[in-house]
Chains A and B, each alone.
Chain A
Amino acid sequence: MIEFAQPAALWTALAVGLPILAHMAYRQVTRKYPFPSLRFIRPSRIPRTGRKKPSDLLLLLLRILLFLTLSALLADPYWIRESTPDAKNEVGKETLLAIDVSPSMQGWNGLEDARNLALRLIDEEEGKVGLVAFGQNILGEWKPGVGKEELTQAVEGLRHDWKKGNAQTLLDRATGLFSPSATEKKLVIISDFQQSDWQTAFRDLPELGVKVDLQRVGSDEGQRKRSDNLSVVEARAVPAGPGKVRVWTVIRNWDDEAKTVPLVLSAGGEIRQRQEVDLPRLGSAQAQFVLKADDFSGASVELESGDSFALDDKRTLWLKSPPARRFGFWMPEDEDAETREERDFLKTAVASAGDNGWNRWDWAQDQADGLRLGDEQSSIELLFVIGLGDWFEEQELGAALQGFVEEGGTAILTPGQPFVKTASVIRDADLFPFKFLRVAGGAVRLGNPFRIKALEEGSFLTEVFDGKAARDLYLSAIHRFGIIQQVGEGVDVPIRDREGRPLTLIRNLDGGGRIVFLPFRMNTSWTDLPLRNSFLPLLMELSFGGRKTMPSRAWPVLEPGGVWGEGEQVFKAVEPGVFRFEDQWLEVVPSLAESIPEVLASDELLQSVGGKFSSSRVSAQAEGGGKEEQEPLWLWFAILAASLLIIEMIWSCPTRGGITKGDSTHA
């Protein structure tokens, strides 16, 4: 029996009206006919006589047949053959039901539909039946051949996973679950084919001898729309002034209708605040709650109105602030007034750095001292080595400093007295390759200080100091500095004086660390920079500018399946919530990718895994009718259409000459 894969294309058969109309409206083509005189010939309208000859009717039939053949060709015909059950084949037939249990299956009734369909297939499928549950990984395997009861229990016990789905794991594993003796291998994939899970999956299973049957569940049906989903996509706690903390959330509406939904903040087991959020269609809206700090350590934000996918309606977070960044100083023990002044300038500047979030700096001299004494666990991130001189060499701090910057730390070095000793220590410790000439300036230069040269085009400093913002920097006075020459390779010189002499050397290390050497001290006897507005930004830019963006200071946020930490003791995220791991506080949030309601189109899926696609309803009918074999017929129809076309072209080719042969001859 002939059936069509694209029956809608049969509407094109209406085009048979075209040749019929053409034959009815045919107006005879006039041929050139020599005639003695046109004196009494008057032009007249050639009547639409239609084609009346028997041969014309045959031509019309031929053309109608050609159009019908083309129409059938477009509808992709195939021959359905009922094959008699082969006892031997049924014995060797194996069917593997693969059920997607990724988080998106929990929404849109997907998992429930999948269970029902799987239970029905277990009863109906012939041969051996197996089961595999998959999400990000293979979560359960029952090879073909296990008992029906066991399979039924396994299907009824299936629960959704929290980890983002990855269909590739199924495609890689599925072939290994069939026994080598199977004569027919069939893989029935029951899934919602959510876009993020399936868009990168690929394996040509039919080439490996596995027939694939794709069964979609959780799709749009009746009132249940895929787009009916709201998600809490972000929830973050930030300081909101003294003693307060602000919970900032972002809600996403996936639907194409605007909505107003209630959002509640719960803490300490009770709902603390509630507010209505207006959500635009296919867009996001923000909401904020302000709480007293230190009342609660954690909170949750939740949408009260239900939707088709509930897993992403709630988010929990820590209200507790993460630790601040730390800085400290290395300086000579017998610190003089000049060193103290420099330290105070630097300490005041860095302590005032930070932003409205948890990014702030704390002076942690104990950590700096610990590092000085060889403590590798020191949490210091910025180290000032001021008044670099003999003491550095005597205490053998070179290795500790190298280790610190190689681990990603930033060190800023300023010279001590005499400058030549500083240069000697730096060279000996292999910190910078350069040659020291002399110290320029001094008391005689007080009325005519050195000025900073305009920043070079493309320098990382120009992102901050550009246009009027650079005026304060260029007005700063440097009374004296060490003249450095022959700077080696691998050293950046972002600032120079107006004669082009280096005023800052920077060396970036592979581990992300940085060493900055200023050939002048940060106190008023050397420069007025610490008194200027540009001091703090210059200091922070020299320390961290030009590098990758500093990670925002917040507790680590993981998705289920994520791992935090290194070594043997690591934290593995399993499901959403807030967790403590040693001294680290972590947040685990639902996978945002699973909230996307879009599913992969059928044709894309067929390209990815081959096989045929059927909805669960259609499949139930087809599978219940017994085994059928399909044989494509498009090639035969194409040959028939081509043959008819050639015959038509030959037949309808206009004859040469006049009206008809014998109508006239000329002497």
Chain B
Amino acid sequence: MVESAESSLLDPAHLKGIEDYSLLARVVVDGAMPGIHRSLRQGRGNEFFQYRPYERGEDMKVVDWKVFAKRDELVSKTFQEDTNFTLYLVIDASASMGYQGKRASCSKLRYAKMLAACFAYLARRQGDRFGLFAYSDEVQQWIRPQSGSGHLNRLLVSLGSLEAKGKNDHEQAWDRFTNGLPGRSMIVFLSDFLEAEDTLSERLRFSLSARYECLCLQILDPDEVDLPNAEAIRFAEMEGDREISSAPPAIREKYQNDMSAFIEDLREKLASVSAEFDSLRSDQELGHALRRFLGLRNRKA
């Protein structure tokens, strides 16, 4: 199949070389998915957007008189209208997110960071406020929601500094996070959600409220879906001390069944609290997740 230029820009294998998340987000959103997002609402915002010719009947307050004085032409200033919608990006940065198998072009955390950058960029383009909460066994980054391009740059820099380390502690992190949750928000969880199916549904009960929308994106490495290709491996837990020697060919079928059952269980439990769920593979192109995100965002808007 011939790959289009747009879809190749969504492939993590092509994006892995872009270290600047601001550039990466623009490449993905503006380059690969032009028009995917809703146009900006122009109005009485705080942030200048563009000049346009003055139209008769408009409020004279929008006329830029300095331009008129220079060019003897009436031009109107338009501003980006702020929404009162908040996007909160919650990223699991525990050690297991650092795994990168042979078949994946990047680690799970890198994949999550790329998605988060794109989500933040889209939110910025739509005038939403956006924030970041990254954790493992402690809070690594907590950026309160704000709007504006300066805030976007700050968030993207913070994303770049995230490292996969420590053992995840979903319960404690989410408790801290949900206590300061602003009203009318969309929360996007980016995690592998390993060992978290019970805790997650319990902690996301707030999403039953009409003010909140939750999107849980599970990011798994292809190896986690169907085990690495090797005849014998001594598996060592990345967030623990346990080790198990096993032959992947011998346990692959059972493993796949167990993993599928786990994902389905997770999906059902999240559905019970009205949270959206999707399972992604770290070798999967970003378009699917972006469309899922925008669909939910626009529906909320």
Known A39-B195, A664-B102: A47·B231 in contact at CB below 8 Å: yes
Closest residue of A by beta carbon distance from B98: A667
Choice from A28, A42, A49, A663 contacting B228 with Cβ under 8 Å = A663
Choice from B108, B192, B243, B262 contacting A32 with Cβ under 8 Å = B243
Interface residues of A in 24-72 (CB under 8 A from B): 27-47, 49
A residues engaging B (CB < 8 A)? 27-47, 49, 659, 662-667
Q: Do the beta carbons of A36 and B255 come within 8 Å of each other? A: no
Q: Do the beta carbons of B245 and A40 come within 8 Å of each other? A: no
Choice from A31, A664, A666 contacting B234 with Cβ under 8 Å = A31
Q: Do the beta carbons of B258 and A659 come within 8 Å of each other? A: no
Q: Do the beta carbons of B100 and A30 come within 8 Å of each other? A: no
Residues of A within 8 A of B97 (CB): 36
Known: A41-B244, A47-B232, A664-B223. 4 other contacts (CB 8 A): A30-B245, A36-B239, A37-B192, A37-B195
Interface residues of B in 218-261 (CB under 8 A from A): 221, 223-224, 228, 230-240, 242-247, 250-251, 254-255, 258-259
Q: How far is the CB of A512 from chain B (nearest CB, A)?
A: 90
Instruction: Give bound CA distance, A664 to B229, whole Å.
Output: 11
Q: Most A CB atoms within 10 A — which of B102, B108, B259, B262?
A: B102
B residues engaging A (CB < 8 A)? 96-102, 107-110, 163-164, 192, 194-195, 221, 223-224, 228, 230-240, 242-247, 250-251, 254-255, 258-259, 262
Instruction: Give bound CA distance, A651 to B285, whole Å.
Output: 43
Q: Do the beta carbons of B246 and A34 come within 8 Å of each other? A: no
Q: Do the beta carbons of A33 and B234 come within 8 Å of each other? A: yes
Instruction: Give bound CA distance, A29 to B233, whole Å.
Output: 8
Q: How far is the CB of B220 from chain A (nearest CB, A)?
A: 8
Q: How far is the CB of A566 from chain B (nearest CB, A)?
A: 94
Q: Do the beta carbons of A36 and B99 come within 8 Å of each other? A: yes
Residues of B within 8 A of A665 (CB): 100
Closest residue of B by beta carbon distance from A666: B98
Q: How far is the CB of B104 from chain A (nearest CB, A)?
A: 10
Q: Do the beta carbons of B195 and A664 come within 8 Å of each other? A: no
Q: How far is the CB of A440 from chain B (nearest CB, A)?
A: 105
Residues of B within 8 A of A46 (CB): 231-232, 245-247
Residues of B within 8 A of A47 (CB): 231-232, 247, 250
Instruction: Give bound CA distance, A95 to B141, whole Å.
Output: 103
Closest residue of B by beta carbon distance from A658: B233
Residues of A within 8 A of B108 (CB): 36
Q: How far is the CB of B231 from chain A (nearest CB, A)?
A: 5
Residues of B within 8 A of A36 (CB): 96-97, 99, 108, 192, 194, 221, 224, 238-239
Q: How far is the CB of B114 from chain A (nearest CB, A)?
A: 13
Q: How far is the CB of B251 from chain A (nearest CB, A)?
A: 5
Q: Do the beta carbons of A33 and B102 come within 8 Å of each other? A: no
Instruction: Give bound CA distance, A330 to B254, whole Å.
Output: 124
Instruction: Give bound CA distance, A40 to B257, whole Å.
Output: 9
Residues of B within 8 A of A39 (CB): 194-195, 258, 262
Nearest 7 pairs of A and B residues by beta carbon:
A36-B96, A667-B107, A667-B98, A30-B234, A40-B258, A44-B250, A28-B232
